[in-house]
Structures are given as C-alpha cells and as structure tokens.
C-alpha cells in the first residue's frame, strides 16, 4: 500500500524508501538506504528492504531523512504570559520533540503534563523551573519564598519521566537584588535530582562569570549568543571563564528568542571556535510571528552563518537527546524510537533577521515534508 498526500495512519509497519539518510552520529551522510518502522520503533535500516504485503510504503523521492528534530527551548504551557499551543510549533514544522523551558514549576507541573504533554501529537518534555509556579509569576526568583527545593524534588520524583532538566533564569529582571543566590539554589535542586541545570543568561546581575562558576559538566547555558552586555566575549576574545566552562563540559545553546540572538555575536564567537552545541528557538507568543518563527528557520540561520547541514541536524537531534538523556531518541538506529523528520532543501536568496534587527542573507533553506512520532505519521506534505 502506498501512502498518499494528506493521508495519515496509525500503523504497525511503514517502509521508508527512496530517501537519503542524514545522521552524523551514526555515520549516515546522505546514505541511500531504506528504513522499516514497526511497532513505534526503527526495526531495520538497510540498502534495500524487500516489500512485504503488510507494509505501507512511503516513497520519499530523494528527500532527506533524519532523526526527529528536537527543539529544547520553547514555552508551550498556555495560560502563562509566554505559552503557545504545543502542536502549533511542533509536528507542522517537522519537529517531533519539544522541551518546555521552565514555564511550569513544581506546583503546576502536573497540570502541564495532564493538559498539554499527554494530549499533544508532538512529544514534550519539561525543563522544570526550580521556582514554585515557574513563569506564571513575574519575577519568579527575586524572593526565597518563591521556591521550595523539597517540594520541587518531590515533584520531580513523581513526574521524572517527563522532566529532563532544571531551569532557572539568571538576569536582573528575574532575580532582582538576590544576584547569583537563586541560581545556586537551582543548582542544588539539579544535583538532588541528578539532572542538568539549564540557565537563561541576560543582563546582570548576576554576571556570566558568576553563573559559569556554578555550572558543572553536563549543565547548559541558553541565549549564549545574545547581543547584550554580560556575554561570552570581551574585547573581541572569548572570556577565560567561558573557555574554562567549555573545557569542563558545560554546553552552550542558541535559544534565539525575541531578544537573545545576535548575528554579529554569533559570527565573532564562531570564528573563535565557540560553536553552539545545540540549536533551539525559545519560541513563545512574543516571537512566533517573528523574528524566530520556527526551528527549521532558526536552523537556516545557522546554515547562513557557516554551520554545515550535517552538523546543524546533529545539533537538533543526537546532541540534545544525549545531553538530556532522552532514551531512544535522536538517532537513526535500529531499536530506537521511530521519530523521523523528512525534509528537502531549496536554494534561493533568503533574508533573515536576528533579535536586534540585523539582517543576514542565506542561500539554502530547510523545508520539512513529514513528521513521524513514535511510528505515527503526524504530518505529511507529499
């Protein structure tokens, strides 16, 4: 049976044929191989798989096949001042997994799970905020009464299948006069839960040097390439504290956002060897209609800045899955979960905008054609 345009199936066995497999972590660099999906898993990858009567065949017509795209920085808990509907930014754009970056805290994480994570077509994890109500209060960490580490640890233990990191925002607008104090508290929680600490950086206080001093191997900074003070660079050089953090295994994420990605900062940092470990959007209600729009468009900006397609795809698949211990995700590998993104590239002259009004011209663009989540075809355009 051939799957046609506009038809969606919950099926046992799907044969993807005629595609070019792209997964640098598995050594697949446009490999012309078939993939058989069965029972929500990748059953087999081979040069040519014989069609059997119970298979549903998708002829990909030379399109690129990658592990399902993962966007680790979004805000998808509607009702908060930033939240958008999860499926408005996920599977329609070829993104099979998204992480909500701290919109929910320990007091409302259960509501988020039941009302949004479980019903969504897009797979969702939480980077739970250490503050009681996450981003449902503003500012969320300027007073010790706004967090309770015992309560937060209890929430994690109860919902650990959905929580991949602990989130905190380290900027003057969120911590007020407490400076680095709340970030140290968030780190205590991350250690207690055995999770990475995921930190938003912005205007001081605290300073990035203080923030990085708290962070250990496996922790991650987001908004790494903003154009504000308190960044990675000083006098055109990488700050020693930034290099030391990279050397000990701290990760650096794009987290584009409405005010947190600058082409000039990125270009300078990239030229000095500080390349993002992860590409993410920080999509929310204030930037979904620009300048961010989607994960594929954010990836296009990375391509225009000189990151190769295979590296860019790895930064939204294998890398985030490994860093946040998303078991069975992020690879085109037999036995892994059947989360797949199919896309094609188009050439042209594309004008991109960062968060500070700077422009950039790119010449290649990623266009998602299909999203498969756990073996279910959730989006199909061909």
| Cα Rg of the chain (Å, integer) | 20
The annotation status of 75 as a binding-site residue, yes or no, is yes
The annotation status of 121 as a binding-site residue, yes or no, is no
The annotation status of 282 as a binding-site residue, yes or no, is yes
Separation of alpha carbons 211 and 201, rounded Å: 8
Residue that has been written with the tokens 């994890």 in this structure: 125
Phi and psi of 241, rounded to 5°? -65, -35
- Hey, what's the torsion of the CAs at 38, 41, 43, 45, to 10 degrees? 120
The annotation status of 129 as a binding-site residue, yes or no, is no
- Pairing state of beta strands 163-170 and 123-129? parallel
Separation of alpha carbons 110 and 232, rounded Å: 36
Contacts of 119 (CB under 8 A, 6+ apart): none
Phi and psi of 270, rounded to 5°? -60, -40
The answer to whether the CB of 96 falls within 8 A of the CB of 371 is yes
The answer to whether the CB of 102 falls within 8 A of the CB of 129 is yes
Tokens of 228: 């504000």
Separation of alpha carbons 300 and 298, rounded Å: 5
The answer to whether the CB of 222 falls within 8 A of the CB of 200 is yes
Cis peptide before 205 (omega within 30 of 0): yes
The annotation status of 200 as a binding-site residue, yes or no, is yes
Separation of alpha carbons 162 and 71, rounded Å: 15
The annotation status of 344 as a binding-site residue, yes or no, is no
Residue 230: other Cβ atoms inside 10 A: 18
User: Helix, strand or coil for residue 375?
Assistant: coil
Pick out the residues of the known binding site for Zn(2+).
73, 75, 167, 200, 223, 282
Pick out the residues of the known binding site.
73, 75, 167, 200, 223, 282
């Amino acid at each position: 049976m051939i799957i046609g345009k506009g038809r969606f199936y919950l099926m046992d066995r799907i044969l993807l044929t005629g595609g070019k497999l792209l997964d640098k972590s598995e050594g697949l660099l446009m490999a012309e191989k078939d993939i058989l999906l069965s029972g929500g898993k990748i059953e087999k990858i081979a040069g040519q798989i014989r069609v059997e009567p119970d298979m549903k065949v998708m002829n990909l017509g030379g399109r690129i096949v990658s592990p399902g795209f993962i966007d680790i920085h979004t805000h998808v808990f509607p009702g908060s001042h930033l939240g958008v509907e999860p499926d408005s930014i996920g599977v329609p754009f070829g993104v099979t997994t998204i992480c909500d970056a701290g919109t929910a805290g320990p007091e409302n994480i259960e509501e988020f799970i039941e009302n949004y994570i479980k019903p969504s077509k897009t797979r969702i994890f939480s980077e739970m905020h250490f503050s009681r109500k996450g981003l449902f209060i503003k500012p969320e960490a300027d007073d010790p009464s706004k967090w309770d580490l015992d309560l937060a640890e209890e929430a994690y233990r109860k919902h650990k299948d959905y929580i991949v990191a602990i989130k905190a925002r380290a900027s003057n607008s969120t911590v007020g006069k407490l400076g680095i104090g709340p970030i140290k508290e968030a780190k205590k929680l991350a250690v207690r839960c055995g999770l990475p600490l995921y930190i938003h950086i912005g205007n001081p206080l605290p300073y990035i040097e203080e923030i990085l001093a708290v962070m250990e191997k496996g922790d991650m900074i987001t908004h790494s390439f903003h154009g504000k003070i308190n960044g990675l660079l000083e006098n055109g050089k990488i700050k020693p504290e930034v290099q030391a953090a990279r050397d000990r295994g701290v990760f650096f994420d794009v987290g584009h956002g409405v005010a947190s990605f600058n082409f000039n900062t990125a270009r300078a940092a990239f030229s000095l060897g500080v390349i993002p470990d992860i590409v993410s959007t920080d999509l929310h209600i204030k930037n979904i209609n620009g300048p961010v729009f989607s994960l594929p468009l954010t990836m296009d900006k990375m391509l225009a800045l000189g990151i190769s397609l295979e590296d860019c795809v790895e930064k939204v698949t294998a890398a985030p899955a490994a860093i946040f211990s998303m078991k069975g995700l992020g690879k085109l590998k037999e036995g892994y979960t059947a989360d797949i993104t199919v896309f094609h590239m188009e050439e042209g002259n594309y004008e991109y905008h960062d968060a500070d009004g700077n422009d950039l011209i790119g010449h290649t663009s990623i266009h998602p054609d299909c999203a498969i989540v756990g073996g279910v075809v959730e989006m199909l355009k061909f």
